[in-house]
Protein backbone atom coordinates (compact mmCIF):
# COMPACT_ATOMS: atom_id res chain seq x y z
CA UNK A 1 0.00 0.00 0.00
CA UNK A 2 2.84 2.38 0.84
CA UNK A 3 4.45 1.66 -2.53
CA UNK A 4 1.17 2.48 -4.28
CA UNK A 5 0.76 5.75 -2.36
CA UNK A 6 4.34 6.86 -2.98
CA UNK A 7 4.05 6.16 -6.70
CA UNK A 8 0.59 7.66 -7.25
CA UNK A 9 1.15 10.91 -5.30
CA UNK A 10 4.08 12.16 -7.40
CA UNK A 11 2.35 10.89 -10.53
CA UNK A 12 -0.78 12.99 -9.85
CA UNK A 13 1.42 15.99 -9.04
CA UNK A 14 3.24 15.47 -12.35
CA UNK A 15 -0.04 15.31 -14.28
CA UNK A 16 -1.28 18.51 -12.65
CA UNK A 17 2.06 20.20 -13.37
CA UNK A 18 1.92 19.05 -17.00
CA UNK A 19 -1.54 20.56 -17.41
CA UNK A 20 -0.58 23.82 -15.65
CA UNK A 21 2.58 24.27 -17.73
CA UNK A 22 1.02 23.26 -21.06
CA UNK A 23 -2.77 23.67 -20.77
CA UNK A 24 -3.32 22.38 -24.30
CA UNK A 25 -6.19 20.10 -23.49
CA UNK A 26 -7.44 18.36 -20.42
CA UNK A 27 -8.36 15.43 -22.70
CA UNK A 28 -4.71 15.07 -23.78
CA UNK A 29 -3.63 15.16 -20.14
CA UNK A 30 -6.18 12.45 -19.30
CA UNK A 31 -5.20 10.39 -22.34
CA UNK A 32 -1.59 10.37 -21.18
CA UNK A 33 -2.36 10.07 -17.48
CA UNK A 34 -4.86 7.20 -17.37
CA UNK A 35 -2.73 4.44 -18.96
CA UNK A 36 0.32 5.61 -17.02
CA UNK A 37 -1.59 5.66 -13.73
CA UNK A 38 -2.98 2.20 -14.38
CA UNK A 39 0.54 1.04 -15.17
CA UNK A 40 1.71 2.31 -11.77
CA UNK A 41 -1.24 0.63 -10.05
CA UNK A 42 -0.55 -2.77 -11.61
CA UNK A 43 3.21 -2.43 -11.06
CA UNK A 44 2.76 -1.63 -7.37
CA UNK A 45 0.40 -4.57 -6.88
CA UNK A 46 2.51 -7.12 -8.76
CA UNK A 47 5.81 -5.80 -7.43
CA UNK A 48 4.58 -5.86 -3.86
CA UNK A 49 3.17 -9.32 -4.31
CA UNK A 50 6.45 -10.58 -5.69
CA UNK A 51 7.97 -10.16 -2.24
CA UNK A 52 5.77 -12.98 -0.94
CA UNK A 53 7.06 -15.49 -3.48
CA UNK A 54 10.52 -16.76 -4.14
CA UNK A 55 12.76 -13.77 -4.76
CA UNK A 56 15.07 -15.65 -7.12
CA UNK A 57 12.14 -16.88 -9.23
CA UNK A 58 10.65 -13.43 -9.64
CA UNK A 59 13.75 -11.24 -9.94
CA UNK A 60 14.18 -11.42 -13.73
CA UNK A 61 10.46 -10.91 -14.50
CA UNK A 62 10.39 -7.99 -12.06
CA UNK A 63 13.35 -6.34 -13.80
CA UNK A 64 11.77 -6.98 -17.21
CA UNK A 65 8.50 -5.55 -15.92
CA UNK A 66 10.23 -2.41 -14.73
CA UNK A 67 12.21 -2.02 -17.96
CA UNK A 68 9.20 -2.59 -20.24
CA UNK A 69 7.02 -0.26 -18.15
CA UNK A 70 9.59 2.53 -18.30
CA UNK A 71 10.12 1.91 -22.02
CA UNK A 72 6.36 2.04 -22.67
CA UNK A 73 5.94 5.35 -20.86
CA UNK A 74 9.03 6.78 -22.59
CA UNK A 75 7.76 5.72 -26.04
CA UNK A 76 4.31 7.14 -25.28
CA UNK A 77 5.70 10.50 -24.20
CA UNK A 78 8.36 10.70 -26.93
CA UNK A 79 5.91 9.71 -29.66
CA UNK A 80 3.27 12.15 -28.44
CA UNK A 81 5.88 14.89 -28.26
CA UNK A 82 7.09 14.24 -31.79
CA UNK A 83 3.56 14.25 -33.22
CA UNK A 84 2.59 17.44 -31.40
CA UNK A 85 5.87 19.32 -31.84
CA UNK A 86 4.85 21.32 -34.90
CA UNK A 87 1.47 22.24 -33.39
CA UNK A 88 3.14 23.40 -30.19
CA UNK A 89 5.71 25.37 -32.14
CA UNK A 90 2.95 27.11 -34.09
CA UNK A 91 0.96 27.90 -30.95
CA UNK A 92 3.67 28.93 -28.50
CA UNK A 93 6.57 30.26 -30.55
CA UNK A 94 7.01 33.21 -32.88
CA UNK A 95 9.57 31.19 -34.87
CA UNK A 96 8.57 30.13 -38.39
CA UNK A 97 7.09 26.69 -38.80
CA UNK A 98 9.34 23.95 -40.18
CA UNK A 99 8.93 22.73 -43.72
CA UNK A 100 6.19 20.21 -44.53
CA UNK A 101 8.83 17.50 -44.94
CA UNK A 102 10.04 18.05 -41.36
CA UNK A 103 6.45 18.06 -40.09
CA UNK A 104 5.75 14.76 -41.87
CA UNK A 105 8.99 13.27 -40.57
CA UNK A 106 8.15 14.25 -36.99
CA UNK A 107 4.65 12.83 -37.34
CA UNK A 108 5.95 9.57 -38.82
CA UNK A 109 8.56 9.31 -36.07
CA UNK A 110 5.97 9.88 -33.37
CA UNK A 111 3.57 7.30 -34.78
CA UNK A 112 6.42 4.83 -35.19
CA UNK A 113 7.51 5.29 -31.59
CA UNK A 114 3.99 4.72 -30.28
CA UNK A 115 2.63 2.10 -32.67
CA UNK A 116 5.79 0.03 -33.19
CA UNK A 117 7.94 0.33 -30.10
CA UNK A 118 5.39 1.47 -27.52
CA UNK A 119 2.91 -1.27 -28.40
CA UNK A 120 5.61 -3.94 -28.13
CA UNK A 121 6.81 -2.55 -24.80
CA UNK A 122 3.20 -2.68 -23.57
CA UNK A 123 2.98 -6.31 -24.72
CA UNK A 124 6.17 -7.18 -22.87
CA UNK A 125 4.86 -5.42 -19.77
CA UNK A 126 1.65 -7.44 -19.99
CA UNK A 127 3.59 -10.71 -20.24
CA UNK A 128 5.82 -9.96 -17.27
CA UNK A 129 3.00 -8.63 -15.09
CA UNK A 130 0.82 -11.63 -15.93
CA UNK A 131 3.69 -13.98 -15.16
CA UNK A 132 4.38 -12.29 -11.81
CA UNK A 133 0.71 -12.08 -10.88
CA UNK A 134 0.09 -15.71 -11.75
CA UNK A 135 3.24 -16.89 -9.94
CA UNK A 136 2.15 -15.37 -6.64
CA UNK A 137 -1.53 -16.25 -7.04
CA UNK A 138 -2.92 -12.76 -7.65
CA UNK A 139 -4.55 -13.56 -10.98
CA UNK A 140 -6.99 -16.34 -11.76
CA UNK A 141 -6.22 -18.54 -14.74
CA UNK A 142 -8.65 -16.72 -17.06
CA UNK A 143 -6.95 -13.36 -16.41
CA UNK A 144 -3.59 -14.93 -17.22
CA UNK A 145 -4.94 -16.40 -20.47
CA UNK A 146 -6.47 -13.05 -21.48
CA UNK A 147 -3.21 -11.29 -20.57
CA UNK A 148 -1.03 -13.64 -22.57
CA UNK A 149 -3.34 -13.55 -25.61
CA UNK A 150 -3.57 -9.75 -25.56
CA UNK A 151 0.20 -9.48 -25.15
CA UNK A 152 0.82 -11.86 -28.04
CA UNK A 153 -1.56 -9.78 -30.17
CA UNK A 154 0.37 -6.60 -29.33
CA UNK A 155 3.74 -8.23 -30.00
CA UNK A 156 2.84 -9.55 -33.47
CA UNK A 157 0.47 -6.84 -34.71
CA UNK A 158 1.59 -4.69 -37.61
CA UNK A 159 -1.22 -2.17 -37.78
CA UNK A 160 -1.20 1.58 -37.29
CA UNK A 161 -4.90 1.61 -36.46
CA UNK A 162 -5.54 3.67 -33.29
CA UNK A 163 -7.79 0.94 -31.84
CA UNK A 164 -4.73 -1.19 -31.06
CA UNK A 165 -3.77 1.40 -28.45
CA UNK A 166 -6.91 0.45 -26.50
CA UNK A 167 -5.76 -3.13 -25.81
CA UNK A 168 -3.32 -2.13 -23.07
CA UNK A 169 -5.65 0.25 -21.18
CA UNK A 170 -8.48 -2.30 -21.34
CA UNK A 171 -6.15 -4.95 -19.93
CA UNK A 172 -5.01 -2.63 -17.13
CA UNK A 173 -8.62 -1.86 -16.21
CA UNK A 174 -9.37 -5.60 -16.18
CA UNK A 175 -6.36 -6.41 -14.00
CA UNK A 176 -7.04 -3.47 -11.69
CA UNK A 177 -10.65 -4.60 -11.31
CA UNK A 178 -9.60 -8.15 -10.49
CA UNK A 179 -7.09 -6.86 -7.94
CA UNK A 180 -9.72 -4.61 -6.34
CA UNK A 181 -12.27 -7.42 -6.14
CA UNK A 182 -9.71 -9.79 -4.67
CA UNK A 183 -8.55 -7.16 -2.15
CA UNK A 184 -12.12 -6.73 -0.93
CA UNK A 185 -12.94 -10.42 -0.66
CA UNK A 186 -12.05 -12.45 2.43
CA UNK A 187 -9.24 -14.92 1.76
CA UNK A 188 -10.04 -17.15 4.65
CA UNK A 189 -10.93 -16.90 8.29
CA UNK A 190 -10.30 -13.54 9.88
CA UNK A 191 -7.66 -13.45 12.63
CA UNK A 192 -9.94 -11.29 14.79
- Residue 114 in contact with residue 160, Cβ under 8 Å? no
Q: How far apart are CA 10 and CA 161, in angstroms?
A: 32
Asked whether residue 53 carries a pLDDT value surpassing 60, the answer given is no
Q: What is the pLDDT of residue 4?
A: 47
pLDDT in tens, 63-82: 888 889 899 989 989 998 88
pLDDT band at 21 (very low <50, low <70, confident <90, very high): low
pLDDT at position 60, please? 80
pLDDT of residue 94: 85
Confidence at 91, pLDDT banded by 50, 70, 90 = confident
Distance set, CA 153 to CA 34, 140, 171 (Å): 22, 20, 12
**Among 40, 42, 47, residue whose Cα is nearest residue 13:** 40
The predicted structure's pLDDT at residue 189: 33
93-140 residue pLDDT tens: 888 888 999 999 999 999 889 888 999 999 999 999 999 999 888 899
Per-residue b/e over 61-92, b at no fewer than 16 CB within 10 Å? bbebbeebbebbbebbbbbbebbbbbeebeee
Residue 41 and residue 172 in contact, taking contact as beta carbons nearer than 8 Å: yes
Band of residue 51 on the pLDDT scale cut at 50, 70, 90 = very low
Phi, psi of 187 (to 5 degrees): -100, 15
**Structural domain boundaries of the chain?**
2-177
pLDDT in tens, 151-172: 999 999 877 788 888 999 999 9
Amino acid sequence: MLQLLTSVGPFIAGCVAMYVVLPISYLLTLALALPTGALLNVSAAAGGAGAHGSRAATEIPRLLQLASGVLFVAMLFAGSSAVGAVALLGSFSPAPLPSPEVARALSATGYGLVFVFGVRAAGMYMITTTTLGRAVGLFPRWVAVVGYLAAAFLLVSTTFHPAILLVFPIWTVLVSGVLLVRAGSPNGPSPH
